Amino acid sequence: MSLAEAHILLVEDDPLVSEHLRAVLRHAGAHVTALSSLQQLDAFDPVSTDLAVLDVSLGDGEIGDHLAALDAAGVSLLFHTGTDDIRAIMQSHPAARILAKPSREDELLAVCQDLMAARP
């Protein structure tokens, strides 16, 4: 499954990581919206979003309690994180995938493509 025309939300608070991931996803054909805080995520309307690539620990807190709008919109979730223990989030989001940081570009794209292919 291609990422061409996919609408991807990227939530990452490290500017260098965010810019790199945004470039990788855009190069694969995706439309990318990048956010860097929970405050921005809470204000974001995910209505046209297909997939979210999410860092679990942001500068203003943990993402776990801020996923309701994404869940309601049916957004596929990829937790791209260096955090070791995200069992609680995964119990609440069993269809989500996890990719440990740092990841290779081809791994990131493969997981994103898998999640897009599994969308209804």
Cα 48 from chain centroid (whole Å): 14
Q: What is the pTM of this model?
A: 0.94
**Position of tokens 């046209």?**
48
Check whether 119 has a pLDDT greater than 90.
no
Two tokens, residue 84: 């070791």
The closest alpha carbon to 52, from 68, 36, 70, belongs to 70
* SS3 letters across 95-120: CCEEEECCCCHHHHHHHHHHHHHCCC
The predicted structure's pLDDT at residue 1: 54
Check whether 2 has a pLDDT greater than 80.
no
Measured CA to CA, the distance from residue 17 to residue 118 in angstroms comes to: 26
A 10 A CB-CB count for 17 gives 16
85-114: per-residue pLDDT in tens?
777 787 888 899 999 888 999 999 999 999
For 69, phi and psi rounded to 5 degrees? -65, -40
User: pLDDT confidence of 115, banded at 50, 70, 90?
Assistant: very high
